[in-house]
Copies of this chain bind each other. A is one copy, B any other.
């Protein structure tokens, strides 16, 4: 016999996306329950953004002090790895979710701990930790916010070798003497940087010819330079043939070129898979294990009645915490409006559509140098059919940057839509570049004409004066200069 409880809204997954969605459905007066099998707060809080940034920040702060004559002389010691790990533990709330549960209480949402699966339309069966089952029914909507997990490729010996995934790399309590990192994306480069700074001898094995393949090519090049300068061995064109862990715990990675590398640990950071394999998707006509395709309101396509939503990584629009939170707010507002019988505002940039997912996704990679990008790269903009002008500027030539760090090295790129004279995308690479990004995000999102951006005067001498330099470079490269 199972009990059955009805809510207006059921949210599967209580990470940041689910939390934001529930916050909005609660604000709309809808009774809301979240179902969570692990920790409330999700991947970001315990095994991604928070601990990874906590691991990276001390090294960045130290590098910044070392980069300036006068403060450099005061840095006579080295990073205290144990202090960094302790601080990381604190930012991961010691892997306890008491604080986040309190927040859910505060918004008046219910929490059911256990593994939730769809059991037909508007119906969720929860296997609770004590082995029982609870059935929840939704009067208005079910929202899937279960996120993604690290996906391991089918490499001989890999699973048996128990490689680190992003979870281990962000939560390890000790510093391995040596670490192999397989991958060239954000997790790979951030964790290579973090563990090298903490004292590990890191080798980065990249299958392709560059890092961060979805960003402007110079971003990956500058990050590779930075990793090498920090002591990371970076190998491109490295395809793994086999992985083996020996009896004393050492891991050997054999490459297809016949060479082999041995280290204390290997981190696999080669991709993500949706957490949809055991969600009961088949009970509502979808395919278990698939990413969930959604429209701009985050309603799942191909489900009758419009009651199923999916926000965050699981819909594969933009696998970033902040974008999941954004979708959570949008989807929650849409569910609220539908429940109240109000029309949805689905025009571009309306209150119920996640337009930014297509046009203005920001991302920061917290390496040294940092990479900060929003909107389209030059290649993406051209492929999308825009008439594009690419404007590059050497960030180190900005007075504010040279004041910030001796020998500041970095680069900025602005991608301009020549027809509308708006900014389609911006990439900054350099120490501390992450905090430069939001100005670009506002400019891209608000589609501010270049003519107006000229009136947005950067304060002198900040790094943000790069905006003036980008505009000047654009102007001076124009056949028909505006002035």
Q: A: which residues have CB within 8 A of B? A: 16, 24, 27-28, 44, 49-50, 53-54, 57-59, 61-62, 64-65, 67-81, 83-84, 86-87, 91, 320-323, 325-326, 329, 333, 336-337, 349, 351-352, 355-356, 360-364, 372, 399-400, 402-404, 406, 432, 434-439, 441-443, 445-446, 448, 451-465, 467-468, 481-483
Interchain CA distance A445-B351 in the complex, whole Å: 23
* CB pairs A–B below 8 angstroms (17 shown): A53-B461, A57-B68, A58-B71, A61-B64, A61-B65, A62-B71, A74-B77, A75-B76, A326-B457, A351-B482, A360-B457, A364-B462, A372-B459, A438-B439, A439-B442, A442-B446, A448-B448
Interchain CA distance A364-B458 in the complex, whole Å: 10
Known contacts A24-B483, A439-B438; A68/B58 CB under 8 A: yes
Interchain CA distance A70-B79 in the complex, whole Å: 5
Known contacts A70-B87, A442-B448, A483-B351; A323/B77 CB under 8 A: no
From A69, A87, A467, residue with most partner B Cβ within 10 Å: A69
B78 and A74 within 8 A (CB): yes
Interchain CA distance A83-B72 in the complex, whole Å: 9
Task: Find A73's partner among B83, B351, B446, B460 (CB 8 Å cutoff).
Answer: B83
Interchain CA distance A442-B50 in the complex, whole Å: 29
A65 and B57 within 8 A (CB): no
Q: Which residue of chain B has its CB nearest to the CB of A460?
A: B322
A54 and B403 within 8 A (CB): yes
Interchain CA distance A459-B44 in the complex, whole Å: 13
Known contacts A80-B74, A439-B439; A457/B68 CB under 8 A: no
Known contacts A73-B80, A360-B456, A443-B442; A463/B482 CB under 8 A: no
Interchain CA distance A78-B73 in the complex, whole Å: 7
Task: Find A436's partner among B351, B362, B435 (CB 8 Å cutoff).
Answer: B435
A461 and B69 within 8 A (CB): no
The 6 closest A-B pairs by CB, nearest first: A58-B70, A70-B84, A73-B80, A438-B464, A65-B65, A438-B439
Interchain CA distance A83-B74 in the complex, whole Å: 11
Q: Across the interface, which residues of B come within 8 angstroms of A481, CB to CB?
A: 27
Q: Across the interface, which residues of B come within 8 angstroms of A337, CB to CB?
A: 483
Task: Find A77's partner among B73, B80, B372, B452 (CB 8 Å cutoff).
Answer: B73
